[in-house]
Structure 1
Amino acid sequence: MEFDYDLFVIGGGSGGVRAARVAAGEAGAKVALAEEDRYGGTCVQRGCVPKKLMVFASGYGVSAKEAQDYGWTMMAGGFDWPKFRGTLESELDRLEGVYRKILANNGVETFDARARISDPHTVELSTGETKTAKHILVATGGWPVRPDIPGAELAITSNEIFHLDVLPERMLIVGGGYIACEFACIMNGLGVKTTQFYRGAQILRGFDEEARGLVSEEMIQNGVDLHLGTNVLEMKKVDDGIWVKATNGQEYTVDQVMFATGRAPNSKDLGLEEIGVKLGRGGQIEVDEYSQTAVPSVYAIGDVTNRVNLTPVAIREGMAFVETVFKGNPTPVDHEMIPSAIFTQPEMGTVGLSEEAAREREPIEVYCTSFRPMHTAFIGKSDRVMMKLVVSQESRKVLGCHIVAPQAGEMIQLAGIAVKMGATKEDFDRTVAVHPTMSEEIVTMRTPVRTG
């Protein structure tokens, strides 16, 4: 049968664009891509990129104060949100243009439309057009979820936070995952009176206990009003903002509420189940290790599969898909030992197993140090950082590395190479320290603090 395309990609985020580009540019396939919103997806338009730029912006207030303590004559003025937002929006427009250009330069035909799958080889576009393809790749990402409570419509999500007309004076952030914690630190750093509710016993569930405990302590010390074991019961609009009733019995009035209470796969109304693609309980597309669905011609990558929801992982999955389907080289996706960072203040970098997860698997040794870094200790600040290695007693391999410190994201990328290669504790010990740095502590820890 003759098809219009070898590959039709649904979704113009990082994973979909990479798969389309490589299939067309390197494998010579005839490729089309449909995107109903902005090109670049969550990461470029509503996630990592604008978030990191806000992280940078939010750090300068503290930097100005620290510079004074170091002897500089400096005055930190107020933060000009409209100026920053204007520059941010220009940058996101520029990046969208880059993504469109990449696709055009590689001969990918693009449709600014919503796509729906009507049979294993056919896609219907919201423009009324119908296209056929030998293979269909779903890369539609995820979307923030709003809790079902009275007044929920008054709140924003991470999608809207980058486009606020004015910076609120008082803000409540609901959630305890990395998105909630990052934005609590950002808003606090920008001078917003920031309150955070999390219904659980400690923020950053699933991460190393000790590391998330330190992040939590530092956030509170830096001014975030964090309430654990607390959730929102109801909200309503009042004259001076949004009135919020909490499960701890207290009432708050704030200017803005943001829900960061989870994300769901963008799999609704794509025609998937009708053609036989299986969805999981949370709406995620079920795929095998080659990203293939129950329908052989349909594949899925990225957050819509809810495997490891990180941009570089979606890109890896896209590359592996092209290797498998268009280059005749079946390539499963490797989801082991993926380094990641949480851009709180201080940052957390992590790769491999938490102490708790490793302990359940085998006997381990834990090497850990927490200290006041030279940079801020010099000016009398009580900030603390942490370096931690989780080591297998039997193989001596480093099973996990966890860093809580300024620039931990930069550090964990490099530590991640060693851990992925299977470095042992003795490999770390043999490495000479770079002095004076915070990260030197990762190679100078000699005695385990815990074993078992």
Structure 2
Amino acid sequence: MAYEFERKQRIAVLGGGPGGYEAALAGAQLGAEVTVVERVGVGGSAVITDVVPSKTLIATAEAAGAIASAGELGVQFSLKNSAGRQARPDVAVNLQAVNQRLRALARQQSEDMKANLLRVGVRVLTGDGRLDGENRVVVSAGHGARKHDFDEIEADTIVVAVGASPRRLPTAQPDGERILTWTQLYELDDVPEHIIVVGSGVTGAEFASAYSQLGSQVTLVSSREQVLPGEDADAAALLETVFIRGGMQVLSKSRAMKVERDGDEVVVTLGDGAQVRGSHCLMAVGSVPNTVGIGLAEAGVQLSESGHIRVNRVARTSVPSIYAAGDCTTFLPLASVASMQGRTAVFHAMGDAVTPTELRNVTSNIFTQPEIATVGWSQKQIEDGIAQGEIYKLPIASNPRAKMQGLKEGFVKLFARTGSGTVIGGVIVAPRASELILPIALAVEHRLTVDQLARAFSVYPSLSGAITDAARAMHIVN
């Protein structure tokens, strides 16, 4: 007697970054046969050259900054000189050791992620993948990779999660030594004497903040009126004030037209003809999706003018069997969003229950010092009439715990729906804002009112108490 068994659904994932990784895990969880194709290592650029190393560098910068400001709390550092007298020690950053550590952490994280995939039965291939129609992926061995016995993967569902790369300008070509992209910073042996950061978006602001705390002289070239265009205006203005107070030179409304190397220096030529000289230059002028030459258009996948893959809220492309996740798509370029897209794509493809991604519920964070965390509707959208809401802003300096820690810069800002008091958004500017924003994110996700948020017991004293204090101040009278 012959038995027929239902064939497992086959899923091919191009790219092993946050989106591809989570897609693979979700597929394995639902019993699919999953193959991941990744050319640089599981975790992709997010783990190996972007998020993990950059946030590790920023953590070191925060430690250096904490030492520098410890005197305000009465902490003094001293040592005995040869005469037995007290002397002030020099606090220095060993950038070579820092970079060795962060590269090791990135490699370890990549290996841990690969081990997780292998443990649940996912097949991981090293190489370059491209689409050959709607249901086939062709794999070619990447540089230095071993050749495989196969070069084609048949799939019922394909998830494209190939990420993005730093944008390069024709007039400012990185050389990996003095003119750098953010992926090349981790090869430096010494803290730059004077680093010029071109671009004042999230990446530029984060690295400008970090290198300033590490001891570099920093010049930030911004083509806009202030840093972080598009972010909360109060938060951006506060951060720019902190930058300038800390000795950073911020060149607003200045466009870098050309970056050249002159021996051991770099020369940045601005739109008005002025020149800025420094020891290094970081180009932080955005990114481009890695979607060229991988067969997307030939398979019928629609792309935007910028080359990003058009997807809907369940990460599906214009081709029913092809999904996409992460920085290569038209959604927000955040690792958390990529992960959610990857899971949503596979759940939808396999018929499991899904909740379409709601971008207004996405929490984002800028890892400057202080950090800036946001979720939900923005103040500008409220002021422009796009959303109906009330705004309340509470300075962090009024919080008891902040006073104890010597914190003066920052605030908690809540947005609540007019009439109902439902929390529709918020901004936190403070150390560890990335941790503090979660209660507001939960309130936005679950449509809690300011009164419900205020009824939660915050620890006294705590920075999170500023959130419940702000919510209490927005009490809705019944």
- Equivalent position of 2:41 in the other structure: 38
The counterpart of 1:14, out of the listed 15, 18, 40, is: 18
CA distance in structure 1 between the aligned counterparts of 2:409 and 2:34, rounded to whole angstroms = 51
Contact 2:94 2:190 in 1 (8 A): no
Contact 1:27 1:327 in 2 (8 A): no
SS in 1 for 2:443: helix
SS in 1 for 2:240: helix
Moved more, 10-19 or 355-364: 355-364
- Equivalent position of 2:146 in the other structure: none
- Equivalent position of 1:353 in the other structure: 377
Q: Which deviations, in whole Å up to 9, do the C-alpha atoms of 1:94-147 show, x marking residues without a partner?
A: 111112111211111121100111111121112372222121110111111123
- Equivalent position of 2:145 in the other structure: none
Contact 2:134 2:299 in 1 (8 A): yes
Gaps of 5+ in 1: none
Does residue 327 of structure 2 align to residue 324 of structure 1? no
CA distance in structure 2 between the aligned counterparts of 1:103 and 1:429, rounded to whole angstroms = 42
Aligned 1:36-435 pairs, distance under 5 A: 36-74=39-77, 75-127=89-141, 129-149=151-171, 155-329=179-353, 331-359=355-383, 360-372=385-397, 383-431=408-456, 434-435=459-460
SS in 1 for 2:297: helix
CA distance in structure 1 between the aligned counterparts of 2:362 and 2:452, rounded to whole angstroms = 20
Contact 2:15 2:38 in 1 (8 A): yes
Q: CA deviation at 1:79?
A: 0.7
CA distance in structure 1 between the aligned counterparts of 2:404 and 2:313, rounded to whole angstroms = 51
Contact 1:5 1:32 in 2 (8 A): no
CA distance in structure 1 between the aligned counterparts of 2:346 and 2:316, rounded to whole angstroms = 12
CA distance in structure 1 between the aligned counterparts of 2:323 and 2:387, rounded to whole angstroms = 36
Gaps of 5+ in 2: 1-5, 78-88, 142-149
Contact 1:218 1:383 in 2 (8 A): no
Contact 2:402 2:408 in 1 (8 A): yes
* Residue 120 to residue 248, structure 1, CA distance change in 2 (3 Å): same
* Residue 66 to residue 152, structure 1, CA distance change in 2 (3 Å): closer
Contact 1:39 1:99 in 2 (8 A): yes
Contact 1:64 1:76 in 2 (8 A): no
TM-score (norm 1): 0.91
Q: Which deviations, in whole Å up to 9, do the C-alpha atoms of 1:284-308 show, x marking residues without a partner?
A: 1112232222222211111111302
Contact 2:96 2:189 in 1 (8 A): yes
Q: Which deviations, in whole Å up to 9, do the C-alpha atoms of 1:345-404 show, x marking residues without a partner?
A: 11111111111112322443211122536677679x784211111222132112221111
SS in 2 for 1:444: helix
Q: CA deviation at 1:173?
A: 0.6
Q: CA deviation at 1:435?
A: 3.2
CA distance in structure 2 between the aligned counterparts of 1:382 and 1:324, rounded to whole angstroms = 46
Contact 2:372 2:433 in 1 (8 A): yes
Moved more, 76-85 or 435-444: 435-444
Q: CA deviation at 1:86?
A: 1.4
* Residue 331 to residue 403, structure 1, CA distance change in 2 (3 Å): closer
CA distance in structure 1 between the aligned counterparts of 2:299 and 2:355, rounded to whole angstroms = 26
Moved more, 7-16 or 238-247: 238-247
* Residue 117 to residue 58, structure 1, CA distance change in 2 (3 Å): same
* Residue 196 to residue 415, structure 1, CA distance change in 2 (3 Å): same
- Count of equivalent residues: 445
Contact 2:38 2:44 in 1 (8 A): no
* Residue 253 to residue 125, structure 1, CA distance change in 2 (3 Å): same
Percent of matched pairs sharing the same residue: 28
SS in 1 for 2:26: helix
